[in-house]
Structure 1
């Protein structure tokens, strides 16, 4: 089936506690039945758990027909199921809805909360929390922030107008302003612009700068000198992964509490005591539907723990 058709799939399972059903297309394989496949495909879930979910009708095909443990494995079938984690670490910080109309919702995300379900987080994500809170099952983020970054995130909850808002990011028609706490560099002349070529680094989750034509650009200025650290305003022109964090580190002023740059530190696990001091402070754009200027600002602050 074509990729465009797959995007239009309507899940036969309802949204449950803010969690939408995931889907998977079955490829080549010689599994004796669906239980054997599910247990092998998702080893973090026990075979007994999958059997119980399937008996409850929580694994279905595109037509909504339940797939039981003994159901045959058929290549080309699209299956739907709920992602569930046996244990999920609670994120002890709350999001806030800044604005909502019939098309969009704007939220103020706390540090450590992922925007969408990923890895070991499903319910403890901004998207699922907001779906559960608002009942808006069509809610979709127009852009993303790293889990470690706090601040403004724009969502669409109207399928008919979603593409119009998504095109703003594709056309870079949105003004994004970030703030960060980082070491004071009195020898540098501000404002300044950092341009560089960013490529995949090591470990794979990190980025690095390399020789070649720049593919990233950030405008940086000082908002406030606080002694050993200063509050900086960052305006990204491009939107590369970890762009702001890498550019600040490359200038000799890594963002406070950055566990990746300039050197990747051991995983902090569930430690939420030292949030990355990076905030998506503001988003501004001309609304493509009304022509009005929209400006949304985070109500959060950055500070260094003493």
Structure 2
């Protein structure tokens, strides 16, 4: 049971789920289950969490842009956009809504919890809908900065598909395959997502005796884990990425409740991906709007 819960609900480590089971907070068919219980098809599993404590987060976000319809925030690299998993109140949306200046905040797009940089919210549902439509129609120019292991090409365009990665022990991990490679798959995925990203190297250096590259990323599409999965599949994993980094064992140790040395294993404590700018034509004023975010201090020089 503890293995099943840790693999299915990764917001708790296996050791945490084991402790929860030992406290009698997981019921199967209405009765407390032991960690060693073998899950069977048709089991009705009930979780009674009781009082819980959320992980600490970085709350030093700042306002980059604000008008009557939108607010743009510089998100730190350790806070989720919205309520999910262990983060019920400790998330950017809830924290903004606690500010008396903002009655209600509407999510338009998302960044992964460990991705820092520009994120825009609507102040009303109409504003959120109009800008969300621009994102979906690919009329928002997005620029990210990433740091990856290896000597990246000067320029590269990756167009293809994102599919599941059956070779990985991490259930939610994805991989990028080019259009040509996708046609040659023996068992093609039923619902692959198209994706396209252009990359341009803008710097390089050495870390732990290994070369790394600083790369601009220009995603044309906006898929889950698009940049991270593409870089990993191209052979240039992001520094600090627990899932798509050079050692996915760090993530497996993490969900087991261990405390892996992320600096030595991955080069950073969090994934080196930063949303540096968004450019769009304002849906209400018609003015070309550019919002920028400076590179975080925890990134390499």
Provide TM-score, normalisation by structure 2: 0.68
Note if contact 1:93-1:110 (Cα within 8 Å) is conserved in structure 2: yes
Alpha-carbon spacing, 1:305–1:212, altered in 2? closer, same or farther (3 Å): closer
Pairing partner for 2:156 from 177, 192, 209: 192
Alpha-carbon spacing, 1:277–1:140, altered in 2? closer, same or farther (3 Å): same
Deviation at 1:287, TM superposition (A): 0.6
Distance 2:200 2:98 in 1: 39
Alpha-carbon spacing, 1:134–1:247, altered in 2? closer, same or farther (3 Å): farther
Alpha-carbon spacing, 1:175–1:302, altered in 2? closer, same or farther (3 Å): farther
Alpha-carbon spacing, 1:141–1:289, altered in 2? closer, same or farther (3 Å): same
1:204 aligns to 2:171 (yes or no): yes
Q: Residue 289 of structure 1 aligns with which residue?
A: 284
Deviation at 1:159, TM superposition (A): 2.3
Alpha-carbon spacing, 1:156–1:231, altered in 2? closer, same or farther (3 Å): same
Q: Residue 43 of structure 1 aligns with which residue?
A: 48
1:170 aligns to 2:136 (yes or no): yes
Note if contact 2:146-2:215 (Cα within 8 Å) is conserved in structure 1: yes
Alpha-carbon spacing, 1:249–1:294, altered in 2? closer, same or farther (3 Å): same
Q: Residue 20 of structure 2 aligns with which residue?
A: none
Pairing partner for 2:274 from 265, 276, 279: 279
1:103-252 matches, within 5 Å, as 103-185=69-151, 188=153, 190-201=154-165, 202=168, 203-210=170-177, 211-212=181-182, 215-227=194-206, 228-252=211-235
Q: Residue 254 of structure 2 aligns with which residue?
A: 268
1:298 aligns to 2:293 (yes or no): yes
Deviation at 1:112, TM superposition (A): 1.8
Distance 2:65 2:299 in 1: 29
What is the number of residues matched between the two proteins?
Answer: 227
Distance 1:172 1:242 in 2: 17
Structure 1 spans left out of the alignment, 5+ residues: 1-39, 46-84
Alpha-carbon spacing, 1:43–1:137, altered in 2? closer, same or farther (3 Å): farther
Q: Residue 81 of structure 1 aligns with which residue?
A: none
Note if contact 1:140-1:156 (Cα within 8 Å) is conserved in structure 2: yes
Distance 2:100 2:173 in 1: 35
Structure 1 vs Structure 2 CA RMSD: 2.6
Deviation at 1:303, TM superposition (A): 4.6
Larger helix proportion of the pair: 2
Helix, strand or coil at the partner of 1:284:
strand
Note if contact 2:118-2:276 (Cα within 8 Å) is conserved in structure 1: yes
Deviation at 1:302, TM superposition (A): 5.8
Pairing partner for 1:90 from 42, 56, 66: 56
Deviation at 1:89, TM superposition (A): 1.4
Note if contact 1:102-1:158 (Cα within 8 Å) is conserved in structure 2: no
Distance 2:273 2:197 in 1: 14
Deviation at 1:42, TM superposition (A): 5.5
- Higher Rg of the two aligned structures: 1
Provide TM-score, normalisation by structure 1: 0.67
1:258 aligns to 2:241 (yes or no): yes
Deviation at 1:93, TM superposition (A): 4.5
Deviation at 1:157, TM superposition (A): 1.1
Deviation at 1:192, TM superposition (A): 1.0
Q: Deviations over 1:150-191 (max 9, x none)?
A: 1110100122332211111111110000001112416x3x21
